[in-house]
Each structure stands twice: as C-alpha cells, then as structure tokens.
C-alpha cells in the first residue's frame, strides 16, 4: 500500500458512496462532529431519495447521486433551488467517483459498488473500503489497480481495521497467523433441525451489531466471515493457510495477529462501527468518537470457540473458492447475493442459501465459467453468470445457456 501524506491544516475532501446505509450514516455522524476537518464532495444512495436529500441539505455536497433511475425526479425535486447537482444511475455514480477527493468511503453494498470504487482509485486517493465485494469479486484485478494508481487502501470492516492497526507489513514473514473473530450471529447455538425452519425475522436479529439486511443475513450464515477471509487474503498477503476464524460472541476483540515470537496483538473496543470508520477517516492520525468506552471489569470475561462447520457450511465454501481461485470467488459472491435476496423474499429456506451458492459454483465449473478475470468486463461477466446460474437453480429452470467465459490469463 502507498502511504499518502496528508495536510493537517486543509479540510479533507470527502465523498461517501452508500451514504444512507449503516456505514454511510455512521460516517456522516463523525463528519458532523468534526465539521472543520472535512468538506463533502459527493453523497450517493441506492433508492432512498428522501434520506439522501436530507443529508445533502445538511452537508452541502457538490453532487448527490441516486443509483435508482426511478428515484431521480424525487431527489431532483427535493433539492431544487439548493445549488446541489443531482444525478442518477451507474453513470452518475462513476462520474461522482471521478471528482477530485482526498478520501472516498466505498460502502455501496454488493457488486454494484465495484465500478465506483475503481473509478475513485484512478485519482490515487485514499479509499476507505467497506465494500467486501471489491476484493471478493475482483481481488487480483482490484489490488493491481491500487498499485498502479498509487492509491491508499484503508479497510473499514471492524475485523480488517483491527488487523491493519497491528499488522507489520514490513515483517510479513514473522506473522504466524491472522485470526478473524466472529460473533457467531443469532444462530450460534441452534441445532440443524431448528435452522431448517429459521425465519427471516430471526435471521435479522443480530446480537451485537446494527447493519443492513444483506450483511446481517451474511452474519447469520457466517458467509460474511468467508468473504472477510478472502478480503484478508488480499489485504494481508500471509497465505490462506495462515488465516483462521474464531467465534467470539462478545465482539470485543475484533481480530488478532500472532507473530512467530509468540506475541499476540489484538485490537479491542466496543462493537460500534464508528471506531473503525474514525480510524480510516483520520488516518494516519486518530480522532475522538462518541462511542461507549470499553470497561473490561464490567464485561468480566471474554469467551472463544471454534466455528461449527456443519452449522456454518458457508465458511468451507468460501475457503474452497479462495483455494480454487480463477473466477470461483466472483461467482460465489454473485450467487450469495441472489440466494440471500431470495431468502429475504421468503422464496427459499435459510439452509438453502449455502446449498444454492455451492451448487452454483459447481455448475459454473462444469460449464467452464471459472477462468480468472483480468479486467472489469471479465469480472462483470462472471458476476452476471453467477447470478443467472443461481437464479435458474432457485427457480428450478433447466440449466441456463453457457456464457462466454473470460479468457484465461
């Protein structure tokens, strides 16, 4: 990663992609508490035009972008006479990402966040990465773009932020292992029979974190930890075999780096996303936050356990996809988005999510889809193939037509 010099005197020009989501709202909360440190350039949302308009009127960005074309007129009307530019659609997102900014929050959920994040990289800016799919779907390509543009990548996920804070990139050979911690979600102690009947409402009841629906379901299946395993592989290149996962229900230790001399370094804090967001926003400095302070005496004890492979098959699916390489992580991520959406729409059961993801990867392999993507177009083609295959499996349709696979590198 390239270390960027920053000016303490001039306010940082900030763009927030996914401003109405939980990460975006927390980011703007911190900006509001530190008005003299930040100027907002762009705010974007998927379809929440009213909320985006409210944010835009408060933070006065140059441009507000709504990804859903159907919400454009609502946003334009709400911001009429404000002097704030209004845009919509994928083209609007990419154009906003290309506006000069010192720091960009990439928190659009899903593969839809890939193109804006890549556009932001072209400035050689600091990118706060809260979008897992950039590295899961396009890891090799995305990291090559980071290196080519000289951009600085700061992970925002609490686990990767924790590792970033204690990881020594100059002594990777001395890292014995990285341990990603997981809360275990709402189903940590459930039997398989009970899981088979798990409802959407039950899956959305995370014990520690308040997040959007998709990532909350990923936490319940622990696919989020599988995605984070793949992210960690690209962010901290110690090798897949040196990345472990440990269930820690209290979510106080956010991740661990163990060195070969026996030292184990962990970043700790209350489960509040404003802590890792603030670290990324102020980096290489730190900034005050309003989060509750950690009181270990009050907490009393911290507990740990190994994840149950039968209860959480998504972990093995993700690790195997990483080992397989080529386009397997891209297809896996696309299939997972489709399967989670189907579960949230009550079209499939909870245990069907991992089953359909695994079947999609297997079918993509049989049809020759898993060639390694070497461009954005290849990534998008693989993503579309994964979505089509998974949708066909869920709908019970005959195997979808074979798509053109990207050329192998």
pLDDT digits (tens, 9 = 90+) for 68-102: 999 999 999 999 999 999 999 999 999 999 999 99
Could you tell me if 44 and 102 lie in one domain? yes
Residues 148 and 177 both lie in one domain: no
**What is the pLDDT at residue 402?**
39
Average pLDDT of the chain to the nearest whole number = 91
Kindly state whether residues 136 and 228 are assigned to the same domain.
no
Same domain, 188 and 112: no
**Is pLDDT at 407 greater than 90 in this prediction?**
no
Residue 355's Cβ-count burial label (10 Å; 0-12, 13-18, 19+) is middle
Query: What does the block give as tokens for 179?
Result: 């341990």
One domain for residues 151 and 168? no
* 284 upstream amide cis, omega within 30 of 0: yes
Adjacent-strand bridge partners of 128: 105, 154
Least confident interval from 78-82, 107-111, 272-276, 282-286 = 107-111
pLDDT-wise least confident of 17-26, 175-184, 203-212, 276-285? 203-212
Instruction: Judge if 145 and 43 occupy the same domain.
Output: yes
pLDDT by residue (tens digit) across 223-249? Answer: 999 999 999 999 999 999 999 999 999
Could you tell me if 187 and 256 lie in one domain? Answer: yes
Q: Which domain holds residue 214?
A: 161-271+295-299
State yes or no: pLDDT of 369 exceeds 90.
no
Residues 147 and 184 in one domain: no
DSSP per residue, 168-199: -GGGGGGEEEEEEEE---TTTT--HHHHHT--
Q: Is 408 among the domain residues?
A: no
Spatial distance between the Cα atoms of 302 and 391, rounded to a whole number of angstroms: 41
CA gap 335, 385 in Å, rounded: 9
The confidence score (pLDDT) of residue 111 equals 77
Is 144 a residue whose pLDDT tops 70?
yes
Instruction: Compute the average pLDDT of residues 140-159.
Output: 95
Rg (CA), the chain: 21
pLDDT at residue 4 in the model: 46
**219 shares its domain with 173:** yes
DSSP state of 350: T
pLDDT given for residue 9 in this prediction: 62
What is the rounded CA–CA span in Å between residue 277 and residue 130?
9
Query: pLDDT of 308-354, one tens digit each?
Result: 999 999 999 999 999 998 899 999 999 999 999 999 999 999 999 99
């Amino acid at each position: 990663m390239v270390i960027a010099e920053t000016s303490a005197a001039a306010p940082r020009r900030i763009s927030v992609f996914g401003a109405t989501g939980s990460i975006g709202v927390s980011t703007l909360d911190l900006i509001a508490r530190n008005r003299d440190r930040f100027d907002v350039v762009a705010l974007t949302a998927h379809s929440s035009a009213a909320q985006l308009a409210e944010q835009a009127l408060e933070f006065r960005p140059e441009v507000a972008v709504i990804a859903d074309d159907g919400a454009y007129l609502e946003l334009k009307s709400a911001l009429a006479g404000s002097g704030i530019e209004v845009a919509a659609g994928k083209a609007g997102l990419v154009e906003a990402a290309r506006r000069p900014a010192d720091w960009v929050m990439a928190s659009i959920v899903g593969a839809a966040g890939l193109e804006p994040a890549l556009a932001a990289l072209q400035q050689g800016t600091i990118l706060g990465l809260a979008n897992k799919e950039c590295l899961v779907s396009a890891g090799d390509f995305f990291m090559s773009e980071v290196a080519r543009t000289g951009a600085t990548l700061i992970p925002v996920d609490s686990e990767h932020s924790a590792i970033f804070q204690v990881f020594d990139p100059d002594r990777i050979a001395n890292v014995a292992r990285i341990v990603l911690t997981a809360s275990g979600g709402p189903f940590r102690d459930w039997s398989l029979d009970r899981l088979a009947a798990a409802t959407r409402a039950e899956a959305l009841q995370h014990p520690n974190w308040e997040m959007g629906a998709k990532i909350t379901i990923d936490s319940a299946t622990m696919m989020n930890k599988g995605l984070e395993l793949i992210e960690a592989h690209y962010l901290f290149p110690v090798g897949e075999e040196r990345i472990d996962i440990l269930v820690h229900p209290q979510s106080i230790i956010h991740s661990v780096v163990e060195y070969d001399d026996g030292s184990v370094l962990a970043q700790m804090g209350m489960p509040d996303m404003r802590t890792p967001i603030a670290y990324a926003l102020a980096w290489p400095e730190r900034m005050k936050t309003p989060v509750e302070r950690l009181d270990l005496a009050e907490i009393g004890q911290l507990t740990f356990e190994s994840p149950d492979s039968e209860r959480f098959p998504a972990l093995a699916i993700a690790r195997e996809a990483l080992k397989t390489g080529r386009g397997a992580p891209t297809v896996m991520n696309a299939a997972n988005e489709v399967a989670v959406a189907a579960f949230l729409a009550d079209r499939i059961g909870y245990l069907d999510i991992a089953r359909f993801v695994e079947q999609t990867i297997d079918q993509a392999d049989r049809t020759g889809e898993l060639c390694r993507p070497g461009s954005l177009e290849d990534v998008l083609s693989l993503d579309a193939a994964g979505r089509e295959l998974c949708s066909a499996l869920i709908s019970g349709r005959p195997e979808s037509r074979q798509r053109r696979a990207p050329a192998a590198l």
